[in-house]
Amino acid sequence: MGGRDEKKSRSCQEGVTFYALHRLNIIHQLKTMKGLISILLLTIALTISTSTTHAQDEGIPKLAPDFAMTMEDGSTKMLSDFRGEVIYISFWASWCGPCISNFKKYEAMRSQLSDIGITLLNVSIDETSEAWTTSMDKQQLSGVNALSTKGDLYPDYQISSIPLYEIIGKNGYFKYLSDDMDRDIIEEFRSFLKE
């Protein structure tokens, strides 16, 4: 009889052990799922916030965040130092092929913008000033050239890819081009100069 009781006891212990392990596995899976759901929700929230960072919210003007830049002569300027001017900012880097390509591709338009009084501000996010100056000299970029690290710009501008372009009005607020495919970009910029 002792053998039967011992088998029942061992069987019962194995059942309890299996149940406990099964329960722990379920709890672990739920925690993992909860973690994955949290990560998914955070990713969705970040995607929404970054995609609307500079989007015009129902006509509400948004002030362009100020940031420091190193100029070609080594001096430091702030974006706010350009207040009173309409600025077309090109965020770029020496290692960015599309950035360099776009400077060449849109040189005629950039020249027209400069001719009507738009300040072309080329802000490099290169890690070193050597890479920036070498590339800038090689490309012969028209406009005002400056360097500001991506780390300094990211909290406010959330630069996740370049090239990135922003238009800042005379009052320091973001400006937006119309979505109309038949638009005249130069005329839109002229209108910003009149504000």
Position 60 in a domain: no
Position 58 in a domain: no
Q: Are residues 75 and 37 in the same domain?
A: no
Which residues constitute the domain of residue 145? 68-194
* Cα–Cα separations (whole angstroms), residue 140 to 95, 99, 122, 162: 16, 13, 11, 19
Q: Are residues 28 and 97 in the same domain?
A: no
Whole-angstrom distance, CA of residue 146 vs CA of residue 103 = 15
Count of domains observed in the chain: 2
What pLDDT was estimated at residue 195? 87
The pLDDT tens digits for 81-111 are 999 999 999 999 999 999 999 998 999 999 9
Q: Are residues 103 and 136 in the same domain?
A: yes
Position 137 in a domain: yes
Q: Are residues 39 and 112 in the same domain?
A: no
The pLDDT tens digits for 2-33 are 555 555 444 445 545 555 555 555 555 555 55
Q: How many residues does the chain have?
A: 195
Is the overall model pTM greater than 0.75, yes or no? no
